[in-house]
Amino acid sequence: MKLSLSVRVAEAACKTKLNVPFEELVHLAREMGYHALCMRASAGGVQTPRGELEKMRQIVEEEDLTISMVTADYDVPLNNEQGPNSLQDIGPSLDVAEALGCDLIRVCIKTEADVDRARRAADLAAERGIRLAHQCHMETLFEQVDPTIEVLEKIGRENFGLIYEPANLMLCGEPYGAEALQKFKPWLMNVYVQNHRLDSAGAEELNTWCRGPVRFEHIPIWDEGGVNFGQVMDGLQEIGYEGYFTVHQAYAWLMGPREAAAESIRYLRSFGCFDR
């Protein structure tokens, strides 16, 4: 597996801007030993002129990195009602991916009507050699393991797959270890990791469709009491996953991006699963 660092580690809480310059974050990723950067619209997306995106790609490639995935607009990570809108006009997102030299785009599906839009968007993406993927995420059709597979089967496109994310599955009360990964294997295109600790008195609350509001605490990836990353690593090795493994933690509440990037990679390399 190859380690990727999401720009989210340096993202402001609003999810629409970075707290540090993009070039600084790219250099940090290279310095710490990551192989790639995961792009979000907070750094560059459909709102960014193509010339600027191409300059960003050059900055990434000069550091001998790649872009592992693109989230091309603000609404997808905000997971709001406008999240699926890019499926109705996928062209601008495809343009962003091409400008950044990336072949994977994260999208959002919330209703059955979005499933047909996803098929059409995937067909257009396939014409340009680009894949689309959806994250395991609350308040979407990808909250639970078996319903997620049903949606993927309905979409039925080879270039439409899944971003496995165990923390969201945990908050939704779903299994996320080897059993889930065996089911996800045919569609697995990316891995996102972040960490939460379930706590009925926790400071944070998010709503799920499958079990209602869930309270929790944001914690660093390396803290205990949240996601069991031993199970995650064992499951990924069991299915032979060799793609990108992205540090997706929102660290704005916890620490700066340098400490977050350094401590995350130190902890993850302790499992002995990653390319050097």
Render pLDDT for 70-114 as a digit per residue (tens, 0 to 9). 999 999 999 999 999 999 999 999 999 999 999 999 999 999 999
Which residue has tokens 């793609």? 243
Q: How many structural domains is the chain composed of?
A: 1
Give me the domain span that covers residue 166. 2-269
Average pLDDT over residues 33-44: 96
Are 106 and 69 contacting, i.e. CB atoms less than 8 angstroms apart?
yes
Residue 42 in any domain: the answer is yes
Query: What DSSP assignment string belongs to 259-274?
Result: HHHHHHHHHHHTTS-S
Residue 41 included in any domain: yes
- Residue 25: pLDDT over 70: yes
* Strand pairing report for 212-218 and 196-198: antiparallel
Contact 243, 189 (CB under 8 A): yes
276 part of a folded domain: no
Q: Which two tokens stand for residue 14?
A: 């609003």
Q: Is the Cβ–Cβ distance between 73 and 93 less than 8 Å?
A: yes
What is the predicted pLDDT for the residue at 254? 72
pLDDT value, residue 251: 64
Q: Is residue 95 domain-resident?
A: yes
Confidence of residue 12 (pLDDT cuts 50, 70, 90): confident
- Position 188 scores a pLDDT of 98
Domain assignment present for residue 172? The answer is: yes
Residue 13: predicted pLDDT:
79
**pLDDT at residue number 195:** 94
Matching residue, tokens 């710490």: 32
Q: What is the pLDDT of residue 274?
A: 85
pTM: 0.96
Whichever domain contains 154, its CATH number is: 3.20.20.150
Residue 274 lies in a domain: no
Q: Of 112 and 255, which is predicted with more confidence?
A: 112
- Which of 96, 39, 103, 31 lies closest to 64, judged by CA? 31
Share of the chain above pLDDT 90, in %: 87
Q: Are 181 and 238 in contact (CB under 8 A)?
A: yes
